[in-house]
A and B are shown apart, each in its own frame.
Chain A
Amino acid sequence: MGRLLEVNNLQTQFFTQDGVVQAVNDISFYLDEGETLGIVGESGSGKSVGVMSLIRLIPIPPGKIVGGEVIFDGQNLVKMTDNEIRSVRGNRIGMIFQDPMTSLNPVLTIGRQIMEALELHMGMDKTQSRKRTVELLEKVGISGAADQVDRYPHQFSGGMRQRVMIAMGLSCNPQLLIADEPTTALDVTIQAQIVELVQKLQEDLGMAVIWITHDLGVVAGIADRIIVMYAGQTMEEAPVRELFAKSRHPYTHGLIASLPRLDQRSGKLESIEGLPPDLVDLPKGCPFYARCKYRIPKCDKQRPKLDEISPGHYVACHIDINKDSITTEHPWEEDKE
C-alpha cells in the first residue's frame, strides 16, 4: 500500500485578543491508502483543528497554519492556491462532521446538497447527479431514496441525517474520508450502525479514513492505528492492539482506565483529575505535567520528544511507566483507597 498522506510538523494557531492559541502544536503522522487512523483526545486537544488544517477548513483569520506541510498524494496541501485546495475538498478528501443536526443546510433539500458537489467536481449535469445521488443515498441505507432526495434535513432523524452526511462525504469517491466525531451526537444504537456503515463503505470503496473521536471505545474496533492527542500534541501513537495492550503514556493509560468495563463491578468510573492546560500559555515542559501521576522534575523543564520505542509505536514521555514505577494494571488504582 502506498503512502497517501504525510503530515510533517503541522502547526496551527489562532490569533485572538487573549493571545495566540496554539491549537495544533507540531504534529506529524502518516496514513497509507485504505488505512484507518483513529485520532483520540479530549475536547480542546486539537484533534478537530488538526484535521481541519489538513484541508485548510479552519477560519482564517483568526486561524493560521504557521508551519509544517501536508503531503497528500505527492502534493503539499498547505502550499496550494485556494482554487487548488477547493478541487481537493469534497472531491479527493471527503468529510463528515460531528453534529448532523446543524451540519446540513436547513433551507436546501438533501438532494441539492449532495448534487452540488457532484456537479462541481465530477462535471455531471442535473440528471446524472440526481441519479448518482439516489444511488448514494441507497448505498448509505436510506430506503426509498428516490422519494427522499427532495426532502429537507429537518424531515430526517439524526441518524438518517448522518447517513446523508456520509453520502455527501463519499459522493465523489474520495481517497480519504475524514470523520470528525461522526457518532458523538447520536445515541448508542445509531452510533454502532454508523460505525458499521463507514467500515462497510470503506471496504467497498477502498478509501483511507481518519476517524476522530474522544471515545477510545469507538475507534478500538475500526482503526488500524491510533494517535492520542493532548494539548495540540501527539502523546502516543501505536497500532491499535499495541496501544490497548502496551500503552506507555500516562495519559493514554488514563484514557483506557476511564473506559467503562464490563468485568469490573465497581460502579465508579476512573477519571483523570484536573483540566487540560491553557493553549494560550502552554507550559515549557510536558503539557500533561500538572495532571500526571508519574511526573518527575525533568518533565516540568523539558518537553519530551516523540520517540519510537518499538516499530510503529511512538511515545512522548520521559519515563517508562512500566519500568519506572510500581506496575499496576491501572496506574491510578493505588489512589482509590
Chain B
Amino acid sequence: MFKFIVRRILGFIPVILSVAAITFFASKAIPGGPFDFAGDRSLPEEVVKNLEAKYHLDWPGWKQFTSYMIGDELTIFRTKHEIDDVNVFIEGDKAIVNGNVMLLDNKTLCKESGYIVYGGFTIFDLDTEACGTSQGVIRGDLGPSFRYRARTVNDIINETLPLSAQLGLWSILVGLIIGIPAGIVAALHQNTIWDYLATFVAVMGVSIPSMVLGPVLIVIFANNLGWFPVAQWGAKPPYFENMFLTPGFDWINYFSHAILPVLTLGTGISAVFARLTRASMLQIIREDFIRTARAKGLHEQVVIWRHALRNSLIPVVTILGPLAASLVTGTLIVEQIFGLNGLGKHFVQSISNRDYALVLGTTLLFAVLLVISNLFVDIMYAWLDPRIRLE
C-alpha cells in the first residue's frame, strides 16, 4: 500500500510537468497579450515593451517556461549573464560575480535597492532580472499575476480557494447525503411511486441549471421570505482546517450564508449520485450473493446495508474523484450568482485576460487536486473491493 502510494506520487511528476508545458505553450499560442488593454484603452507600445520586459515576456518561450517551473535564479544561473564584461551567476541567496561570492538577500535587495552594486558599478538590475519574478513552481511560487498587478497568483489562490473549497465540499456532502439514499430507495422500490418520484426529482435536478435554480432560491428564500442573506459569504477564517476546532464558531451564521449556494450546487450533484446509485444498486440486488444473503435469513436491511451497499458504491466513488477536484476549485456560475469571491471566475477570466501565470496557476492547481483525488479514489476502491490490490 505504502509502496503503491509512493509510486503513484512519483508518477504525478511527469503528469504535472506535461500539464504545465501544454498549458504554458497553448496559452502563449493564443493571439494577444496581457498588456493589450488597460481598461478600454490600449497602452502605448513603449509601455507594453517595458511591462513585457519586467515580466520576462521578451524572453524566448523555453526560458520563460524554465523560469516559471524552477525559478528565475536557477534559470539565470544556467544562462550566464554578461553585463558590462561582468559575469553574474545567481544561485539561491548568493550572487557570484566574476568568481567572487556575494551573499544577497534577494527580496530585500529587490525592494530597497533593486540592483547589486559591485565595485561601484550597477552590474545587475534586479528589477528586470530577478525582482518580482518567480521562485519557480518547484518552490511553490506560481508567479505574479499579469492582470492583478499588486498580487501574485499565490495571493489570488489563497484569497479565493478557501471559499470555493468550502462551497464545493459542502455541496458534495449534500450530494452524498441526499443522492445515495435516494438512489437506494429508488432501486429497492423499482417501478413504484418512490422510484418514479426519486427518478423524476433526479432528472429535474440534473436538468435545471444552477443559473436558474440559484436565482429562484434567492428570490424565494432571501428576497421573499428573508430567511437567508445573499452575496455576503466571504472567505474569512476560520477555514476548514480549524473550523471544527474553533470554540464558539457561529455555525448558524455560517450556514445561513452557505445554505443557498450549497443547495444550488448540491442539487445537481445529488441528482447525479442518485441516478448512479440507483443503477448500480439495481444491478447488485440481482446478484447471486444477495440471494445467498437472503437465504441465510438476514433481515432485508442487513442484506442491503452489509451486502449490497458496498458493492454498489464503486461507480459513485469513481466519479467522486474528478468531481471533487472540479468542485473544490470553484464553480463560476454559482459563485457569480451568489456574489462569492471564489476561484471559479479566475479559471475563465484569466484566459481572456491573457493572464498567463494565472492560467497556469489555476490549471496546475486543478491538475494536482485531480491526481490526488484519483489516488484517493484508487485507495477507496481497494477498501471497497478486496479483489482490487494496490500493488
Contacts and interface: CB of A to CB of B under 8 A. Distances in A.
Q: Do A and B bind each other?
A: yes
Contacts of B293: 105
Contacts of B287: 102
Given A116-B296, A117-B297, A106 B387 contact: yes
Nearest to B313: A107
Interface string A81-104: 000001111110001011100111
B311 interface: yes
Interface in B291-309: 291-299, 302, 306-307
B111 interface: no
Interface residues on chain A, size class = 20 to 34
Contact of B289 (A55, A90, A105, A120): A105
Contact of A117 (B289, B296, B306, B311): B296
A165 B291 CA distance: 12
B298 A116 contact: yes
B291 A103 contact: yes
B296 A89 contact: yes
Interface in B268-315: 287-289, 291-299, 302, 306-307, 310-311
Interface string B296-340: 111100100011001100000000000000000000000000000
A85 B287 CA distance: 21
A89 B310 contact: no
Interface string B124-151: 0000000000000000000000000000
Nearest to B284: A105
Interface in B333-391: 384-387
Nearest to B296: A90
Interface string A101-142: 011111110000100110011000000000000000000000
A58 to B, nearest CB: 10
A152 interface: yes
A77 to B, nearest CB: 12
A106 B385 contact: yes
A295 interface: no
A154 interface: yes
Nearest to B386: A152
B215 to A, nearest CB: 43
A108 B293 CA distance: 12
Nearest to B307: A105
Residue in B289, B306, B310, B384 whose Cβ sees the most chain A Cβ within 10 Å: B289
Given A90-B297, A107-B386, A154-B386, A168 B306 contact: no
B312 to A, nearest CB: 10
A48 to B, nearest CB: 11
Nearest to B289: A105
A282 interface: no
B299 A86 contact: yes
A296 interface: no
A106 B386 contact: yes
B288 A99 contact: yes
Contact of A108 (B288, B299, B307): B307
Contacts of A103: 288-289, 291-292
Contacts of A86: 297-299
A168 B296 CA distance: 8
Nearest to A91: B297
A89 B294 CA distance: 8
Contacts of A57: 291, 294-295
Interface string A276-307: 00000000000000000000000000000000
Interface string A164-194: 0100100000000000000000000000000
B295 to A, nearest CB: 4
B302 to A, nearest CB: 8
A107 B294 CA distance: 16
B297 A102 contact: no
Nearest to B310: A107
A173 B305 CA distance: 26
B308 to A, nearest CB: 9
A99 B291 CA distance: 12
Contact of A154 (B299, B306, B311, B387): B387
B295 A87 contact: no
B297 A120 contact: yes
Nearest to A56: B294
A86 B303 CA distance: 12
Contacts of A165: 292
A102 B386 contact: no
A97 B296 contact: no
A165 B296 CA distance: 11
A108 B287 CA distance: 15
A1 B237 CA distance: 79
Contacts of A99: 288
Nearest to B302: A116
Contact of A104 (B292, B299, B310): B292
Given A103-B289, A152-B387, A88 B297 contact: yes
A210 B310 CA distance: 33
A168 B291 CA distance: 13
A121 B297 CA distance: 8
A97 B387 contact: no
Interface of B: 287-289, 291-299, 302, 306-307, 310-311, 384-387
Given A55-B295, A102-B288, 10 more contacts: A57-B291, A57-B295, A97-B288, A104-B292, A106-B289, A106-B385, A113-B292, A116-B298, A117-B297, A152-B387
20 contacts: A86-B299, A87-B297, A90-B297, A91-B297, A95-B292, A97-B295, A98-B288, A105-B293, A105-B311, A106-B385, A106-B386, A106-B387, A108-B306, A116-B298, A116-B302, A116-B306, A120-B296, A152-B387, A154-B387, A165-B292
